[in-house]
Amino acid sequence: MTLYGYFRSSTSYRTRIAMNLKGLDYDNVTVNLAQDEQLESEFKALNPQGLVPVLQADDLLLYQSPAILEWLEEVYPESPLLPKDAAGRMQVRALSAMIGCDIHPLNNRRILQYLRNELSVGEEYVMAWCNRWMSEGFAALEKRLAQEENRGKFCYSDRPTFADCYLIPQVSSARRFKVDLTPYPNIVEIDTHCRTLKAFADADPIMQPDAPSA
Ligand SMILES: N[C@@H](CCC(=O)N[C@@H](CS)C(=O)NCC(=O)O)C(=O)O
């Protein structure tokens, strides 16, 4: 399989974590978002939305990371990333959607570039925008995690699920935008635990071939 992505893209990062947790091998193709390669016709032929990730699996071209994760779960059921019971699956998908639908899209590059370049919003206010939506999203997520009776070492139970694949990249992004994480002890605890695991560590942006060397 070939993953078209970018080292710092949260949606590529969540896909890498899921693939690593399932022990799947894949090649990386870099789509450099900093150089707007996602908008070039060559990439738009793969995904007319001009968004990474895209996963090529034989003659299948998969797009939209939530759909990619679901496909991986169906086709590679070993090391499941969803609980066995319907209520558990609902909970994991809901926690994932809190991040994937309601936090990440507001802070995506194209949104921030629009604020900067077309609305002439200064960097200080761009940071404030990101902080606002990440903090609000994390506050609700923290409450959910604190109340979740099935919370274990991970967001749900003692096994990693989709929710952890979504959470860890979003925490990375929050750190990059200097969001204060002290009000979210459950989130920080899960993040700290996940980062001790190879599947998560290998998916980290700094470990990717397109990451700038230190
Ligand atoms: N819902 C899509 C969102 C994909 C997405 O937003 N990708 C970002 C990187 S994390 C991107 O390609 N951004 C390019 C841009 O904003 O121009 C998914 O989950 O795959």
Tens of pLDDT, residues 92-115: 999 999 999 999 999 999 999 999
Residue nearest to atom 20 of ligand 1 (CA): 64
* Cis peptide upstream of residue 83 (ω within 30 degrees of 0): no
Tens of pLDDT, residues 117-132: 999 999 999 999 999 9
Report whether CATH 3.60.15.10 matches the domain 86-200: no
Residue nearest to atom 12 of ligand 1 (CA): 51
Q: Is the whole-model pTM more than 0.85?
A: yes
The b/e string for 55-71 (b: 16+ C-beta within 10 A; e otherwise) is bbbeeeebbbbbebbbe
If one residue of 16, 49, 51 were mutated to test the ligand 1 pocket, choosing by the most ligand atoms within 8 A of its CB, it would be 51
**Range(s) of the chain covered by CATH 1.20.1050.10:** 86-200
Tens of pLDDT, residues 161-191: 999 999 999 999 999 999 999 999 999 999 9
Write out residues with Cβ below 6 Å of ligand 1: 9-11, 33, 38, 51-52, 64-66, 108-110
Q: How far is the CA of 150 from the centre of ligand 1 (A)?
A: 30
CATH classification for the domain delimited by 2-79, as one of 3.40.30.10, 1.10.3720.10, 3.10.450.50, 3.40.640.10: 3.40.30.10
**Range(s) of the chain covered by CATH 3.40.30.10:** 2-79
